[in-house]
A and B are shown apart, each in its own frame.
Chain A
């Protein structure tokens, strides 16, 4: 009997069941790749020590450092300029833990170190059909390769270190179809902000999103990573894009990718992963990609996004009292008036970087706008990894940024999460290519407008929120 048509998620799920779920117990789901960073792992290593457990599969575990790390180079004394002793101790703890347990660690100052969700794919470690987890909600990024990738808590980091498995219930599926082609000046960041605005920040809860349609197929791997990265901002633990030639071309030759005959066999397996014709999703949403404009957030969650030419919504127009009150709170925090245009809003800082938009293509976009121009705001350009940094420098992008008056930093999460000292001062406004505009996310009292690298660069040049389409 031919099996029922299955979605990409179902195929990966079924292929990783050590034990299927029952009403009494969740599934025991096998994990192919576990990525580890310094912030969410120390207590998990402590758990292993307390119970006298080794790491079950060191060959499926990779670590780097990104959140608490400085983005300024070592000082003349050879020391890293950590924000404080606690950050330094946390980073040192990961070095000690990796050494003690024998884990492959790409630490500070090494050639491949970077933001974990830039680093993993860059190594070729993230591959189609895999299950990928990390103690970090933006693990959704890796779904761009047609993997099932999601963030976990530190207890679960311990579970995976000890058993290479997780207890999980199968999530529901949500198909987001993006028809048509994205217009010039509109990219994956604008697309995902538009999707989150449609779904709402909780709208994807309990679901895994599969992105489909012509506009998604046309995206590069890096753009697909941007798209999947922010699935969690709609509440979906994972987002995925079925693998295709774009995926295979990007992966081939990377150090952790298969080679020779194993590569051919892998590609043959990967070609069977896309959802079968007739496969059913629990929910579906269709977006007209061709009608999208550059997007920007105005409020304090990523669902508070509007087209850049639109006006800030008026809470008075909201029928639901809870939504109205949250919108009022957001505008009060942001210091914005109902109905004001978002274009022209003055900006103090521009941040280009993060696991959302810290890859080479993102830096090229920012450079295309900044080339031959000067910034009017403090502008931080933070490459996603040492390899992104090196590749950008080989193309002369660093020279473009410096000539424009921007700061060219060392890789890390930096001002996306503001743990390392790269932060806004209270009241400052930033246009940021990162993923969260929560209150205080980029520094206590700081106010964030999320946007694409193009919009961020355009706003740096004018010192106010600017439609990049006038500068291209």
Chain B
């Protein structure tokens, strides 16, 4: 995994509340046995018509959305299924951060393991982001701030260990494997 320090990008705004993982990647795309190439199926049912052609009105299909790495979404983003295919698809599409007022637990945990920053901001900052689609935001993981339209640097919370892993491009498995002795002791004591 590549280390992440700063993400600077224009935003795409999808203000709907409760965007569930079935919308992020519909179940029919889960029959894969690897994780590559799911980006083309991200938001497939909102993005493509019955003939498979992109729907011009959907925000991701607009010219100004191309190249945006930050998704601003409505409350409770990523609810529903535990499919890690959701962050795989968003990351493969090109997103590096999702900003919302609430992000579902399992999605958040999965996103953190895949170089996709799940960032929860307060309602006022969120409203400012929603009101300015395409605005450039700057996310500083080390400082734990996101600079929103208007210039304010808003702090955000992130688990310290996840932050360490993201900043250093290391994964949790290495840490867990390093616990082998403690795990063996625990197993022996039961």
Contacts and interface: CB of A to CB of B under 8 A. Distances in A.
A165 B80 CA distance: 24
A235 interface: yes
A410 B43 CA distance: 31
B23 interface: yes
Nearest to A23: B160
Given A28-B179, A137-B82, A163-B183, A205 B35 contact: no
Nearest to A158: B173
A348 interface: no
Given A152-B106, A206-B105, A439-B45, A167 B172 contact: yes
A470 B175 CA distance: 59
Contacts of B27: 67, 417-419, 441
Nearest to B30: A39
A329 B46 CA distance: 13
B124 interface: no
Nearest to A426: B50
A469 interface: no
A153 B84 CA distance: 5
B34 interface: yes
A163 B176 contact: yes
Contact of A87 (B18, B22, B31, B173): B31
A452 interface: no
A42 B34 contact: yes
A325 B22 CA distance: 20
Given A24-B161, A163-B180, A322-B15, A153 B31 contact: no
A156 B76 CA distance: 22
B16 to A, nearest CB: 6
B176 A322 contact: no
B18 A201 contact: yes
Nearest to A421: B28
A56 B113 CA distance: 21
B104 interface: yes
A202 B102 contact: yes
B40 to A, nearest CB: 15
B188 to A, nearest CB: 12
A164 B45 contact: no
Interface in A313-340: 322-323, 325-326, 329
Interface in A20-74: 23-26, 28, 30, 39-40, 42-43, 46-47, 51, 53, 56, 67-68
A18 interface: yes
B182 A151 contact: no
Nearest to A303: B18
Most chain B C-beta atoms within 10 Å of own C-beta, residue among A46, A47, A164, A232: A232
Nearest to B105: A237
A444 B52 CA distance: 13
A101 to B, nearest CB: 15
Interface size class of B (residues with CB under 8 A): 35 or more
Contacts of B80: 137, 232-233, 436, 438
B8 interface: no
Nearest to B179: A28
B32 interface: yes
B109 interface: yes
Contacts of B75: 202, 322
Given A24-B160, A28-B182, A90 B33 contact: yes
Contacts of B92: none
Contact of A154 (B84, B179, B187): B84
Contacts of B172: 155, 159, 167
A444 B26 CA distance: 9
A136 interface: yes
Contacts of B28: 418-419, 444
B82 A40 contact: yes
Contacts of A90: 31-33
B66 interface: no
Contacts of A419: 27-28, 30-31
Contact of A153 (B18, B22, B23, B110): B110
B20 interface: yes
A84 B30 CA distance: 13
A301 interface: yes
Contacts of A371: none
A245 interface: no
A89 B75 CA distance: 37
Interface in B62-104: 74-76, 79-84, 87, 102, 104
A438 B84 CA distance: 18
Nearest to A160: B176
Contact of B179 (A135, A165, A201): A165
Interface string A433-472: 0001011110010000000000000000000000000000
A169 interface: yes
27 contacts: A18-B179, A18-B182, A18-B186, A30-B187, A39-B83, A40-B82, A40-B84, A42-B32, A43-B35, A84-B31, A137-B106, A152-B82, A153-B106, A155-B110, A163-B176, A163-B177, A163-B179, A167-B161, A201-B76, A205-B102, A205-B104, A233-B80, A323-B17, A325-B17, A326-B16, A436-B81, A439-B22
Interface of B: 15-18, 20, 22-23, 26-28, 30-35, 45, 50, 74-76, 79-84, 87, 102, 104-106, 109-110, 113-114, 159-161, 164, 171-173, 175-177, 179-180, 182-183, 186-187
